[in-house]
Structure formats: structure tokens, C-alpha cells
Amino acid sequence: MDTIKGIKGVKDILPEETPRWRLIEDSARRWALCYGYQEIRIPLFELTALFARSIGAETDIVEKEMYTFPDRDGTSLTLRPEGTAGTVRAFIEHNRAADPLPQKYFYIGPMFRHERPQAGRLRQFHQFGVEFFGTSDPRADIEVIALLWRLLSDLALPALTLEINSLGSSGDRAAYKPLLRSFLSQQESRLCVNCRRRMKTNPLRVLDCKVPDCRAATESAPRLIDHLSPEALAHFDQVLAGLVAIGIPYRLNPRLVRGLDYYCLTSFEITSTHLGAQNAVGAGGRYDGLVEMLGGPSVPAVGFAIGLERVVLMLPRPSSSSFNECLYYVAAFGEKGTKLGLGLLEELRRIGLSAQCDYRAITLKAHLRQADRSKCRYAILVGDDEAARGSVILRNLSSKAQEELPLAGLSSLLKTRTFSS
């Protein structure tokens, strides 16, 4: 019979990989809490309209990458392609703006985009993201960038660059769009079909197109950064000055427009030359109009998300394999030994000492082979002779040193030793 395979671009994370994932997730949680963010858990799927309205109907995500399906009553639902829209929806729905602001949230979880799978680009991927609601102060922008930078630096990721740009206010963009459009119309023959269409409806998206010909054609396009209002410019200058003050290096990238429509003012991306074509480890920016656009009050906000698969790809390999953290292998054999072993195994686990056993092994030799394979630190040998003496043999599996210990009170003795060593 044919075996059923997993879906293309949707990966299993196997037990030997989960310690790396836990390390990243634990670190992300620690840093988020340290900066005063609280965890929010939002649904994996939402009404399609939420994403279309927030991310933008003419973005790649909404046009070609969403997993959208009708619910049984015909309502259009979508697997979340990112976490900002859901967090904003929850913020509005639970009337959080009535509570004291600012409010700071973080989330970790799977996202879904139907992209062409390649290294660092999947169809189910994971993000750690933060959203800071309630202030338009540039120090909030600096704070989220600092959190992102500290987290990635703490994980010792190599060759990171913070690229930053300002997308101005909505008024700045409205004034800039005709300039861009008229430039693009002169380049129309060099643009891809998508860009020709978007040129008319949403010309900023053309600057984000990954097609090499489009990139070349827009090389000398007018720059939004040269058309910022004094307020937007002042905001940007304060963000940059703050980054200098706290020692975070950046590179201005006037082409950075981001692939989602909700951004304004500060937008940024952290890239690494250690990643291939998909070189963005994390990205974000300010989205002051989104809460209101989704039906809430006017609440400014800023945030970012990192792609955990990309972090995993870049994480330095640990020098030794600490794969199995189990402490004890219980090697129980013989009639009485086997009976005692069952109780001992359970007792160790009950008091919080990790322990395992291969129930198929019935001889000491077979147990010792399995104990070595298990990568436990110790084996506890208990056969009929030990049972008769009321003792066990504790064997250190790396040094092979052995000692005989009384069975009575063994688990508390081991617990004392474990937690005092």
C-alpha cells in the first residue's frame, strides 16, 4: 500500500531537533518578559477578511499565498499567514484599549503561507513576534528593535545587519505615489505582469517585487525617504539617534518597503549573509493606522516577527550532543529483580528523577547494551542477587565506576545527590 507522506513545505521537527527549538523559544520568552511583553495565544485561523483588510488585498501574501477554505456554512476562513492581524483583532475584540496603555504582547507559533519551498522558506513556519500598542513615541520603535537585536545576538547568530527605512505617514505616501507611478509608467515594458497591474493600484508593492528585471527597472526610482514630511523625518531621526545611543548598528535601506500594507514610518529587517536567498531573519515596523482600520480606536503600534526556522538554520551547532537528558537507566533482570525494578522505575519518576528502561531486555548484557545506547548518565542494576541482599548497583555509564547502595531509601538518596551536585 502507498504510504501517506507529509505535505511539501510542511516539516516535522524530530526529537533530535527539538532541544534547539526549545533553546530559541526559551530565549525569546525570556527576552520578551525582560522587556515587559506578555504572552498572547491567538487562533490559527480567522475570517479571511481580517487578513485581506490588514495585510492588503494586493500583497503577495493575500493574492497568492494564503491557505483559504470555506467553512461548512460557506464562510471564508484562512490559516493565519502572520500574527499581527490576529493580535490586533483580539486587542479590539476584548476592548483592551479601555485598559491602561501601553500594552505589550508576544506570541510564538506556526504560520502558513503557500510559497515555493526552499531552504528557510516553508509553507508551515514558525514566528516569534511582539506587538507594542499605545504609543507613537520613537522610543517604542527603538525598544522593539533593541529586543529583536538582543535576542538574535544572545543566540550568537552570525553576520547580522539591521536594515531600516521610513515609510512616512499615510499622507506622505499619498503624495509620493503619483511620483512613483509616473516613474514606473516610463519603465512599464521592463516590469513583470504583476507589477504592471500593481503599478496602477498599489505602486509601492512594485518596489518589493523579487523579480530581477523589476528590481533593475526600479533601481533609480524616486525614494520615499526623500519625500517625508518634517514630522515623519523627525520621528525617523529620533529612532536612528536612539539606536546609536544604545549601540545598535544599522544600515539605511531606502528600498525597504516590506511585503505587508499596514506599515507606516519606521520599517526594518534583520538580514544575515549566512542565509541563502531568504536572508531575512526577522522584520517589522510601525503600523499606527491598523487598529482603527480594523474597527478599533485610534491606537498607534509597532512590532516585529522573526522566522524560527531561519534562526534554527543559523544557530551555532552545539559541541556535544546533549540529546538525552534522562538520568537513570533501570536494568532490572531475574524474577525478583524485575519486580523490584518496576517499582523503582516508578518511584524515581514520581520524585522527579528521569528514568527509563527497555522492557524487552531480560539479561544483564542486553540491559547494559541498551543503557549505553540510551545515553543516560547512570544505570541502576538490580538482579535476583541484589534483590536478595536488599541493594542495587549504581553504574556510572561513562566512567563505568560502580558502587553498591541499599535499596531502602534509594530514591531519596539519589535525589539528594542529584540536587546537591
- Of 131 and 288, which has the nearer Cβ to ligand HAM? 131
- Of 148 and 392, which has the nearer Cβ to ligand HAM? 148
CA distance 415 to 421: 10
Site string for ligand HAM, 46-85 (x = CB under 6 A): ------------------------------------xxx-
- Of 11 and 349, which has the nearer Cβ to ligand HAM? 11
CA distance 40 to 67: 23
CA distances from 379 to 232, 244, 341, 357, 368 (A): 66, 55, 12, 9, 8
Establish if 163 lies at the interface with ligand HAM (CB under 6 A): no
**Shortest distance, CB of residue 404 to ligand HAM, whole angstroms?**
54
Site string for ligand HAM, 247-276 (x = CB under 6 A): ------------xx----------------
**Shortest distance, CB of residue 358 to ligand HAM, whole angstroms?**
38
- Cis peptide, bond prior to residue 110, ω within 30 of zero: no
CA distances from 166 to 223, 226, 378, 384 (A): 10, 10, 58, 76
- Of 120 and 203, which has the nearer Cβ to ligand HAM? 120
Beta bridge partners of 104: 132
DSSP for 170-201 reads: HHHHHHHHHHHHHHHHHTGGGS-HHHHHHHHH
Establish if 86 lies at the interface with ligand HAM (CB under 6 A): no
Among 97, 211, 248, 280, binds ligand HAM (CB under 6 A): 280
**Shortest distance, CB of residue 114 to ligand HAM, whole angstroms?**
9
- Of 168 and 307, which has the nearer Cβ to ligand HAM? 307
Q: At what angle do helices 410-420 and 335-350 cross, to 10 degrees?
A: 40
Site string for ligand HAM, 318-337 (x = CB under 6 A): --------------------
Among 56, 86, 129, 337, binds ligand HAM (CB under 6 A): 129
Q: Specify the 3-state DSSP secondary structure of 79.
A: strand
Establish if 304 lies at the interface with ligand HAM (CB under 6 A): yes
- Of 288 and 386, which has the nearer Cβ to ligand HAM? 288
Answer whether 83's CB lies under 8 Å from 41's CB.
no
**Shortest distance, CB of residue 164 to ligand HAM, whole angstroms?**
14
Residues 6+ apart with CB under 8 A from 81: 51, 55, 61, 65, 66, 67, 111, 112, 113
Contacts with ligand HAM by CB under 6 A: the residue count is: 27
**Shortest distance, CB of residue 276 to ligand HAM, whole angstroms?**
12
> What residue has cell string 550532543?
321
Establish if 284 lies at the interface with ligand HAM (CB under 6 A): yes
Beta bridge partners of 404: 393
Edge-first strand listing for the sheet containing 45-47:
45-47, 76-79, 68-70
The three cell numbers of residue 400 are 563505568
Query: 330's torsion region: left (phi>0), alpha (psi -120 to 50) or beta?
Result: beta
- Of 260 and 355, which has the nearer Cβ to ligand HAM? 260
- Of 124 and 238, which has the nearer Cβ to ligand HAM? 124
CA distance 107 to 84: 10
Among 127, 165, 356, 411, binds ligand HAM (CB under 6 A): 127
- Of 183 and 250, which has the nearer Cβ to ligand HAM? 250
CA distance 100 to 318: 43
**Shortest distance, CB of residue 168 to ligand HAM, whole angstroms?**
17
In the complex, the residues that contact ligand HAM under the rule CB under 6 A are 82-84, 113, 115, 120-122, 125, 127, 129, 131, 259-260, 280-285, 303-307, 309-310
